Amino acid sequence: MRMKPIAPLAIPHKTANDTTLMGTKVARGMNLGKLQIAFALANLVNAFKWSCVDEGKLPDMSEQLFAVTLMKTPLEGRISTRKV
- Comparison of pLDDT for 34 and 2, the residue scoring more: 34
pTM beyond 0.75, yes or no = no
Of residues 61, 59, 43, the one with CA closest to residue 3: 61
Residue 13 has pLDDT above 90, yes or no: no
Angle at 80 between CA 77 and CA 84, to 5 degrees: 145
- Judged against a pLDDT cut of 90, whether residue 37 lies above it is answered with yes
pLDDT in the model for residue 23: 57
- When pLDDT is cut at 50, 70 and 90, the band that residue 3 belongs to is low
